[in-house]
């Protein structure tokens, strides 16, 4: 696993920040210019697409496709992309890459007097990252400040994350199961790796994973005669890898060829997909810290990984689009 590597990167980023603040006075002065201000206002509406983020190259291709998709839907709009993950932003800055966080975009939109500001979350569940986006950035950095100085401007609106309503869950279940119909029809197993939140106060959001798993199994059984479809996560305590192992143990004699297909239940194919899900054996790591693929193979499973993120599905992006259009239509202030 890459947990020690990731920790090292984070510590490096923090160390660089500390060094900057202990340098001479000229070096520690806060920048007077918001980097988002450098992007000229061309239209009356700004659209900010917000995701967790990644430093990997392949996810950038996914983000580019998503940006193009939304730009096509909203042609007369100034469109930008940002990340909510502070760790990812710190890593990018440690690599010398400037990346503008959501707060700075919202501050800049306010300064530029956009009539409309639309924000769409690319998060999967309404968990910690979505809550941060909603409360700290959309509300605090924009809508609250707009109250006393509106100037004909509308409140910023925020589109819900992917798995928000029961209808969303049903749609996503169908999309993912249909994409694996050949495997399911054969009686092979399919498991999706979600992220999840470790904190108890996000149980409502984490439950979306269980609801999705149940809906996928229901649809798969009714449509393709088998229901060996599962969801497990890297952070939700009730649905960690051990949960998947327990579920598979009950059906291992029934699954065709004892074969399982693994795919990330995340917007992009990033660190978790490449390392925690599909990574090779890492010398020096305990068996329980190896990738899902390696651990399942050790248990006698034939494993095939599918490196496709949710953002690579046109049907998934259509759901995000529906959420944004709904937010715009009803003035959703979440």
232-285: pLDDT as tens digits = 999 999 999 999 999 999 999 999 999 999 999 999 999 999 999 999 999 999
Q: State percent of the chain over pLDDT 90.
A: 84
CA dist 259 and 142 (Å) reads 50
Q: State percent of the chain over pLDDT 70.
A: 90
3-state SS assignment for residue 100: coil
Q: What pLDDT does residue 31 have?
A: 52
Select the more confidently predicted residue: 12 or 93: 93
Neighbouring residues of 258: CB distance < 8 A, sequence distance ≥ 6:
252, 300, 301, 302
Q: Which long-range contacts (CB under 8 A, 24 or more apart) does 137-142 make?
A: 137/50, 137/102, 137/103, 137/106, 138/106, 138/334, 139/333, 141/102, 141/103, 141/106, 141/107, 141/110, 142/106, 142/109, 142/110, 142/117
| Listed range (21-25, 48-52, 176-180, 243-247) with the worst mean pLDDT | 21-25
CA dist 65 and 39 (Å) reads 21
CA dist 277 and 251 (Å) reads 21
Q: What is the mean pLDDT of residues 296-301?
A: 98
Q: What pLDDT does residue 32 have?
A: 64
What tokens were used for 216? 């996928």
Name the nearest CA neighbour of 223 among 270, 287, 176, 278: 176
31 neighbors 100 (Cβ within 8 angstroms)? no
Q: Which residue is it, tokens 């609250």? A: 144
Phi, psi at 262, each rounded to 5°: -110, 135
| Listed range (90-99, 103-112, 286-295) with the worst mean pLDDT | 90-99
**190 has a pLDDT exceeding 60:** yes
CA dist 286 and 295 (Å) reads 11
Burial of 264 (0-12, 13-18, 19+ CB in 10 A): buried
**314 has a pLDDT exceeding 80:** yes
CA dist 330 and 327 (Å) reads 6
Q: What is the mean pLDDT of residues 295-305?
A: 99
Q: In the predicted model, what is the mean pLDDT of the chain?
A: 91
Q: What pLDDT does residue 15 have?
A: 45
| Listed range (3-17, 101-115, 157-171, 258-272) with the worst mean pLDDT | 3-17
> Where are the domain boundaries for CATH 3.40.50.1400 in the chain?
13-161+313-330, 166-265+270-307
Tell me the torsion sign for CA atoms 286, 276, 160, 90: positive
CATH class of 166-265+270-307: alpha beta
Select the more confidently predicted residue: 149 or 264: 264
> 3-state DSSP: the chain helix, strand, coil percent, rounded to 5?
55, 15, 35
What tokens were used for 124? 């999967």
pLDDT of 55-94, one tens digit each? 999 999 999 999 999 999 999 999 999 999 989 999 888 8
What's the CATH number for 13-161+313-330? 3.40.50.1400
Q: What pLDDT does residue 98 have?
A: 78
CA dist 272 and 275 (Å) reads 5
DSSP designation for 253: T
Radius of gyration (Cα) for the chain, nearest Å? 21
**1 has a pLDDT exceeding 60:** no
């Amino acid at each position: 696993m890459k947990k020690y590597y990731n920790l090292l990167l984070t510590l490096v980023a923090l160390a660089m920040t500390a060094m900057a603040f202990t340098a001479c006075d000229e070096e520690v002065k806060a920048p007077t210019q918001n980097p988002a201000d450098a992007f000229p206002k061309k239209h009356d509406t700004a659209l900010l697409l917000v995701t967790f983020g990644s430093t990997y190259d392949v996810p950038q291709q996914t983000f580019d496709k998503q940006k193009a998709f939304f730009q096509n839907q909203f042609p007369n709009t100034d469109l930008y992309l940002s990340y909510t993950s502070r760790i990812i932003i710190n890593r990018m800055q440690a690599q010398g890459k400037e990346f503008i966080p959501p707060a700075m975009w919202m501050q800049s939109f306010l300064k530029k007097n956009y009539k409309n500001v639309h924000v769409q979350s690319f998060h999967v569940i309404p968990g910690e990252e979505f809550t941060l986006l909603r409360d700290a950035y959309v509300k605090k950095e924009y809508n609250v400040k707009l109250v006393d100085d509106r100037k004909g401007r509308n409140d910023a609106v925020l589109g819900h994350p992917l798995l928000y309503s029961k209808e969303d869950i049903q749609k996503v279940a169908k999309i993912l199961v249909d994409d694996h119909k050949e495997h399911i029809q054969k009686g092979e197993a399919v498991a999706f790796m979600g992220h999840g939140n470790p904190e108890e106060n996000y149980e409502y959001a984490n439950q979306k994973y269980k609801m999705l798993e149940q809906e996928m199994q229901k649809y798969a059984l009714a449509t393709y005669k088998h229901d060996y479809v599962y969801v497990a996560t890297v952070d939700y305590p009730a649905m960690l890898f051990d949960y998947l192992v327990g579920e598979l143990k009950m059906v291992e004699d029934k699954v065709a060829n004892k074969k399982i297909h693994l795919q990330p239940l995340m917007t992009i194919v990033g660190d978790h997909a490449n390392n925690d899900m599909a990574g090779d054996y890492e010398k020096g790591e305990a068996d329980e810290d190896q990738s899902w693929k390696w651990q399942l193979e050790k248990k006698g499973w034939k494993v095939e990984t599918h490196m496709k993120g949710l953002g690579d599905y046109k049907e998934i992006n259509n759901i995000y689009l529906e959420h944004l259009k709904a937010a715009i239509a009803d003035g959703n202030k979440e």
